[in-house]
Structure 1
């Protein structure tokens, strides 16, 4: 597959830059090269738990220095999307500070009474009573939004149920499917491109998952690079009906393209 000139970069975080708080091979050097050459870039993550400030500190502790403005989360993209849909609206939120802060800063009122939206994000403490309230509000007419479709998330003990799994439970109870804003929805990639003033034709996406990073990047018109330091194993690539532009061992193999 021919590769176009790359003038800007989007990259996933977990599995590409870091794993369990440790920088992956080449990650710090890749980001430093981008910053030294003043190349536009943005780090995309479906994680809606943390604020961009939290994630900047987390990356810094692993030796990767980026400004807060270089991080774009599914929570920030969800808040922007809702602001564009219903400015100054209201939402009942299941999630952590990353999501509630983003919605608050977008001018949203957080309420349990007759909200415009039920917004489901990721949390390590899903409450049965909160899920029950979400179901009743959706039955009452609230629109259903979720930050991302990931059904599991990583932890040191093994996989945890994530936003997509809880969304499926709410869908089963209400018959209403959510609109997922995060990867692989191209709307997340387009909002990222707009933030850095980039054009899809000259932008590349680096990810470790075929079903979110590569598929979403392809649908947004980007070149896509799959790294094998995260979720997708080499033998799994062939099973998908689409292919990345290139498969590499790690982000270290892409430094010379910057």
Structure 2
């Protein structure tokens, strides 16, 4: 495992070309939202950069806090014009959640129970629980746990979903907290980029639940388990990898925890924090340093965007 990162030692890069040409890293662990695309379209240069990276012998794995299964990640990328054959595979927090609920090998999951309050998506499409042998309930008194896949709707026993405002979901969480029902959050992100704005994600609900005194099981980044899964998929050591992401709290702090070098993309969710007015604008180094210190997350490299 590499030495603890120095908060003052990150290197500024205009693109990844110089880093790729060193062949220092065999495997690149790539976040998707905020790095490759904004949820609606690819970022300028992202598709060609992946091809260049592949041409230089790098292996790539998507590592994402998406609450959806890994297979749907590639469906999304294909629809946006990415060549998914360039990737070894994808690891998502949603996939880890699904597999953990399926196998129940972990003691925490083994004791979880099978009836849940399901918080899911509406506009983005509700997430299926098929194959998990779970019973979705609407009454808090009937629930063993909360399963948080989204922030827009309450799952119904029929498999449909009832759209809800965040304030209404908060009230349900208050009832759950009073009954000390644990929460399983399948997407730890607080927000994500969506076109030119930010959207509230399940991690925000989970943080609120902890403030209410509730117990939360966080799946995905910054937990090092998701990095270990990606490293195992690639069949390499942590020192052979670099993680690329736009979230200091999730991507960069997670890489620090896993002993992986990292590249911080400043044009993602922290663009406003860094006072960036346009895509590809170079962030002030002292501002990046201050922000990294605030999060306790220290990148090895800093780039305006994922470009060659």
TM, length-normalised to structure 1? 0.78
User: Displacement of 1:35 after TM fit?
Assistant: 4.8
Matched, 1:164 2:203: yes
Matched, 1:59 2:81: no
User: Displacement of 1:178 after TM fit?
Assistant: 1.3
Give the root-mean-square deviation of aligned CA atoms. Answer: 3.4
Deviates more, 1:66-75 or 1:179-188: 66-75
Deviates more, 1:159-168 or 1:1-10: 1-10
Distance 1:89 1:134, change over 3 A: same
Task: Specify every segment of 5 or more residues in structure 2 that has no aligned partner in the other structure, as ranges.
Answer: 1-8, 12-18, 154-162, 275-282
Comparing both structures, which one devotes a greater share of its residues to helix? 1
Q: 2:105 aligns with which of 76, 84, 96?
A: 84
* SS, match of residue 84 in structure 2: coil
Q: Match for residue 279 of structure 2?
A: none
User: Displacement of 1:202 after TM fit?
Assistant: 1.0
Deviates more, 1:53-62 or 1:10-19: 53-62
Output the CA distance in 2 between the equivalents of 1:32 and 1:89: 45
Matched, 1:94 2:122: no
Task: Specify every segment of 5 or more residues in structure 1 that has no aligned partner in the other structure, as ranges.
Answer: 254-258
The residue correspondences of 1:29-178 to structure 2 (distance < 5 A) are 29-33=48-52, 35=54, 39-48=58-67, 50-66=68-84, 70-82=89-101, 83-85=104-106, 86=109, 90-92=114-116, 93-96=118-121, 100-101=127-128, 104-105=130-131, 107-112=132-137, 114=142, 116-125=144-153, 127=164, 135-137=174-176, 139-156=178-195, 158-172=197-211, 174-178=212-216
* SS, match of residue 75 in structure 1: helix
User: Hey, which bits of structure 1, 4+ residues long, moved more than 6 A?
Assistant: none
Q: Match for residue 251 of structure 1?
A: 306
Q: Match for residue 221 of structure 1?
A: 259
Output the CA distance in 2 between the equivalents of 1:203 and 1:91: 39
Distance 1:40 1:81, change over 3 A: farther
Distance 1:108 1:62, change over 3 A: same
Deviates more, 1:81-90 or 1:23-32: 81-90
Q: 1:7 aligns with which of 22, 26, 38?
A: 26
TM, length-normalised to structure 2? 0.67
Deviates more, 1:53-62 or 1:200-209: 53-62
Distance 1:30 1:98, change over 3 A: farther
* SS, match of residue 84 in structure 1: coil
Deviates more, 1:24-33 or 1:6-15: 24-33
Output the CA distance in 2 between the equivalents of 1:188 and 1:156: 26
User: Displacement of 1:224 after TM fit?
Assistant: 0.2
Output the CA distance in 2 between the equivalents of 1:118 and 1:44: 24
| Residue correspondences, number | 249
Q: Is the 8 A contact 2:38 2:193 kept in 1?
A: no
Matched, 1:237 2:288: yes
Distance 1:8 1:69, change over 3 A: closer
Distance 1:114 1:7, change over 3 A: farther
